[in-house]
């Protein structure tokens, strides 16, 4: 630096006096006008750092040096020196004096992945670039072996996929389970195709009771080595002969009641049905719902032992246990009917 002490003294050590001095003699004004032309702090750059700490003022003709920030490289034939020009402006620096070291390497994508046989590859991030993910899906009737999602990774200057692309294999099923006292269609096949159906049937017996098929009559190959459901069972199902006193059967007349047999009833005149008028023989040899009864008195609604009737609208009060008016009415009704019915049963 070649600036004289006259120039630097007021600038650096007596800044508060500086405006006052500007009003001094013509010589000083002329002198200071060159100082007032000085540059302020040099500009900051995204890609480069100033060498040394910046000062608030620089003299015309002073030069400052920059270095590229870590990860950036100075371009050949580029200069990263700036000079304080006479108008108090730093000579502009080319923005791309420093370029990214990895700029071109990071743009290198992973190798293109094409659709697998019997499947597709989906670009989750729209490209095969580093950091993006791709997903493999198999066509209907095929299943994926391997990882479905691959990520493009980088290590140094290498880009690679996080794993090998998966394969799409044809979905096949092994023969479905064999069942006791029954069989299924095409029971001699070794391999079943996707969505292929097998139908089970029960063996015929020479005895008095035939087997009933309980469960799904048909199942299908729904996935690789997977059937849509458990196979059915062949069971002898016998429900007891349903007897309703003071009532009569109206349909489903049979000598024996096997699985899924359906029977309907009605009560004789003067009697009221308690229960369901239609019952079905279930796999556990019982009627569902239970055989109804025909009684003189009307059936009772649920009494105090059960929950209060549900309110049709949600309670507006946030306080738990608060009853709204509808709840209260329901309670009163249930209790009244309950007491009335209990009195009747006591007679």
Ligand X SMILES: *[C@@H]1O[C@H](CO)[C@@H](O)[C@H](O)[C@H]1NC(C)=O
Long-range contacts of 79-84 (CB under 8 A, 24+ apart): 80/48, 82/42, 82/43, 84/38, 84/39, 84/58, 84/59, 84/60
d(CA 173, CA 143): 12
Residue 125, interface with ligand X (CB under 6 A)?
yes
Which residue's structure tokens are 């048909």?
Answer: 218
Please provide residue 306's backbone torsions phi and psi, each rounded to the nearest 5 degrees.
Answer: -95, 175
Q: Please work out the total of residues on this chain that contact ligand X, with binding judged by CB under 6 A.
A: 10
- DSSP secondary-structure letter at 239? B
- Rank residues 4 and 204 by Cβ distance to ligand X and give the closer one: 204
Q: Does 29 bind ligand X (CB under 6 A)?
A: no
Q: How far is the CB of 154 from ligand X (least distance, A)?
A: 12
Contact indicator for 120, 113 with CB cutoff of 8 Å: no
Q: Write down the least CB distance from residue 303 to ligand X, Å.
A: 15
The distance of closest approach from Cβ of residue 312 to ligand X in the complex, given in angstroms and rounded to an integer, is: 9
Single residue of 17, 81, 86, 124 touching ligand X by CB under 6 A: 124
Does the protein bind ligand X through residue 180 (CB under 6 A)?
A: yes
- Residue holding tokens 């989750």? 124
Phi-psi region of 91 (alpha: psi -120 to 50; beta: other; left: phi over 0): beta
**Interface with ligand X by CB under 6 A: which range of 62-70, 129-137, 155-163, 167-175?**
129-137
Q: Which of 133, 163, 248, 329 binds ligand X (CB under 6 A)?
A: 133
Stretch that binds ligand X, among 5-13, 91-99, 125-133, 289-297 (CB under 6 A): 125-133
Site string for ligand X, 197-216 (x = CB under 6 A): ------x-x-----------
- C-beta separation of 109 from 159 below 8 A: yes
Residue with tokens 């729209």: 126
Q: Which of 16, 87, 114, 310 binds ligand X (CB under 6 A)?
A: 310
Instruction: Indicate the residue among 12 and 133 with the shorter CB distance to ligand X.
Output: 133
What is the distance of C-alpha 208 from the center of its chain? 56
Which residue in 118, 95, 1, 107 sits closest to 57, CA to CA? 1
Which positions lie near ligand X, rule CB under 6 A? 124-125, 131-133, 180-181, 203, 205, 310
């Amino acid at each position: 630096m070649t600036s004289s002490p006259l120039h630097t003294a007021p600038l650096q050590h007596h800044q508060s006096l500086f405006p006052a001095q500007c009003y001094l003699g013509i010589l000083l004004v002329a002198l200071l006008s060159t100082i007032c032309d000085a540059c302020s702090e040099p500009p900051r750059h995204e890609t480069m750092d100033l060498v040394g700490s910046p000062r608030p003022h620089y003299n015309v003709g002073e030069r400052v040096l920059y270095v590229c920030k870590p990860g950036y490289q100075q371009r050949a034939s580029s200069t990263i020196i700036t000079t304080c020009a006479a108008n108090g402006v730093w000579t502009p620096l080319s923005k791309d004096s420093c370029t990214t070291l990895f700029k071109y390497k990071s743009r290198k994508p992973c190798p293109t992945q094409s659709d697998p046989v019997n499947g597709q590859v989906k670009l989750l991030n729209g490209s095969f670039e580093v950091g993006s993910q791709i997903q493999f899906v198999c066509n209907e009737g095929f299943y994926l072996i391997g990882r479905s999602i691959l990520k493009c990774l980088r290590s140094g200057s290498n880009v690679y996929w996080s794993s090998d692309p998966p394969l799409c294999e044809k979905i096949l099923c092994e023969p479905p389970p064999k069942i006791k006292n029954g069989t299924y269609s095409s029971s001699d096949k070794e391999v079943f195709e996707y969505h292929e159906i097998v139908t089970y049937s029960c063996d015929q017996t020479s005895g008095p009771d035939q087997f009933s098929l309980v469960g799904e009559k048909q199942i299908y190959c729904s996935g690789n080595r997977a059937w849509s459901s458990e196979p059915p069972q062949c069971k002898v199902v016998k429900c007891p002969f349903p007897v309703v006193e003071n009532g009569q059967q109206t349909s489903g007349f049979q000598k024996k009641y096997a699985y899924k047999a359906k029977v309907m009833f009605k009560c004789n005149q003067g009697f009221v049905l308690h229960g369901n008028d239609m019952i079905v023989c279930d796999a556990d040899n019982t009627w569902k719902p239970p055989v109804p009864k025909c009684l003189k008195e009307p059936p009772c609604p649920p009494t105090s032992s059960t929950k209060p009737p549900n309110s049709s609208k949600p309670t507006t009060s946030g306080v738990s246990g608060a009853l709204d008016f509808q709840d209260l009415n329901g309670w009163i009704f249930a209790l009244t009917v309950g007491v009335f019915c209990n009195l009747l049963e006591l007679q």
